[in-house]
Amino acid sequence: MRFSVVQILEDDLIAPIIKKVAYGLATTCILGGAVYAGYRVAAPAQQQTRHYRQPELNDQIETVLDSLKIADDQLVHIMHLLEAEMNAGLSPSTHDQAVVKMFPTYVKNIPTGTEVGQVLALDLGGTNFRVLLIDLRGNSRIELTSKIFLIPQSIMMGDGKQLFRHLSECLHEFMLKEHILNTDVCYPIGFTFSFPCSQEGLASARLTSWTKGFSCSGVVNEDVVKLFQNAINEKGINAKCVALINDTVGTLMACAYKDPATAVGLILGTGTNACYIEQLDKVGTWKGDYDEPKQVIINMEWGAFGDNHRLDFIRTRYDEEVDLSSTNPGRQIFEKMISGLYMGEIVRLIILDLLQRELLFLGHRDTYGDYKTPLYNRGGFYTKFVSTVETDEGIKFSNTRRVLEDIGIQNPTFDDCAIVQHICRQVSKRAAKLAAAGLSVLINRIGRPNVTVGVDGSLYRYHPRFKTNMERCMDMLVNKSIQFKIALSDDGSGKGAALVACLAEGTSWKKPAAHHEETVN
């Protein structure tokens, strides 16, 4: 009986201890399970973050950007397509249907550096209109004064006569300021008109289509020089337009003034185009003389390459959206994959796509819902932002952060910046490759041992990697027997136009003027 009581007492003492131990074990198991579950949930996110710090390692992001990549064999195929389109444009039997028009410019002579004269040059190729007074002093020396006038949107999309009246008013204002208005000298004008034209003579050209945001009525199929000269005469200005060229021809001419090996001109700016020196026996559409030199500069208008769907195999959904929302849907397809007017918009559309896929700006979706910010508006990501973002080196991303804040993204993370920079690099690299393929066709076709390419335009000038990316691709595509050089042209649209005007007149227009000593580099 005593034993039983002791046993009961012992059982009563042990029971609470057992309960405490049980509760402790249970609590430990629950906490441990929670910690383990948290770790398992967090692990993919941590892994994903590591991938984002190297966006090219993130499969989902790369799936989106893969559509921008162009393989080497595709570049070679693009070169073959472009040369076929060039031949179609040069042949009288296929010229009318050709998308790459290959217009003869009637510019046959290349400057030697000995030209002397004082001429006016005008440059219209976008939202700015430049007027220049250029003093050619021989020995490859040029001095100039200039002024830039803005072209309002209402003028760009209004009546054609209103456009040329506006240009003549700008010219009048400039000549008045420079004290050359109403003198006994009729100043020759070289007019850089950077839109597709069918040239009928050096001072006669019909506009075939507007580009770069212009859509003035009553100008297409009309003689641009005649329309402009009429406006000049109405204003009583002592000047005559003796040559109309585009910016690519001006770029070639200005570069050739210092480097006689120059045979190609290229513009990479708001738009893109190229010209090159072609032998007359290959120009079936030539209607001029066959005197020496038996060559002529061809204005390719290569921005229209692909308008016949030949480039659809490399176009992306972003290219298609940019095209549909443009002022000229279905036209200038090549230009829309390269030039500054569209590159920023392609980047913006990709950013929005990744945002919608929850691959960018993670955890901040509620913050970025303000549709008034530039990110959500067409044209809100400028092409200059692409250049700015790509100048960032290292891990600070100070430029990229500033750009993202400008378009409405506050406090972007390291990963956000890395992804946006990766997008910009892929878009600009594709543009450089396409430009390289086009240039390689021209250099191989010219076939000289040494060829210099004169280049101008804001995209080429200010993008930190475009030149390098383009040359690296050209090293692979240009024939090994040819040495090529790419040179930044010095104000081709101004100086080049003046050189053409001077050569066109074939006489000295030198007029002593001590007050024109400003040199613009």
Contact (CB, 8 A) for 305 and 334: yes
Is 130 catalytic? The answer is yes
Give the DSSP per-residue string, 430-463.
Answer: HHHHHHHHHHHHHHHHH--SEEEEEEESHHHHH-
Q: What is the CA radius of gyration of the chain?
A: 32
Q: Report the alpha-carbon distance of residue 233 to residue 40 in Å, rounded.
A: 80
Contact (CB, 8 A) for 419 and 283: no
Q: Report the alpha-carbon distance of residue 323 to residue 448 in Å, rounded.
A: 37
Q: Report the alpha-carbon distance of residue 520 to residue 298 in Å, rounded.
A: 29
Q: With helix as H, strand as E and coil as C, how does 235-301 read?
A: CCCCEEEEEEECHHHHHHHHHHCCCCCEEEEEEECCCEEEEEEEEHHHCCCCCCCCCCCCEEEEECC
Is 194 catalytic? The answer is yes
Q: Report the alpha-carbon distance of residue 373 to residue 470 in Å, rounded.
A: 34
Q: Report the alpha-carbon distance of residue 202 to residue 190 in Å, rounded.
A: 10
| Helix or strand run (H / E) with residue 128 | strand 128-137
Catalytic residue among 135, 247, 307, 392: 247
Q: Report the alpha-carbon distance of residue 22 to residue 66 in Å, rounded.
A: 57
Catalytic residue among 130, 165, 348, 425: 130
Q: Closest Cα to residue 118, out of 98, 138, 91, 94?
A: 138
Q: Report the alpha-carbon distance of residue 165 to residue 155 in Å, rounded.
A: 10
Q: Which residue has the tokens 């402009």?
A: 228
Contact (CB, 8 A) for 368 and 375: yes
Catalytic residue among 135, 165, 168, 194: 194
412: number of Cβ within 10 Å: 22
Catalytic residue IDs: 130, 194, 247
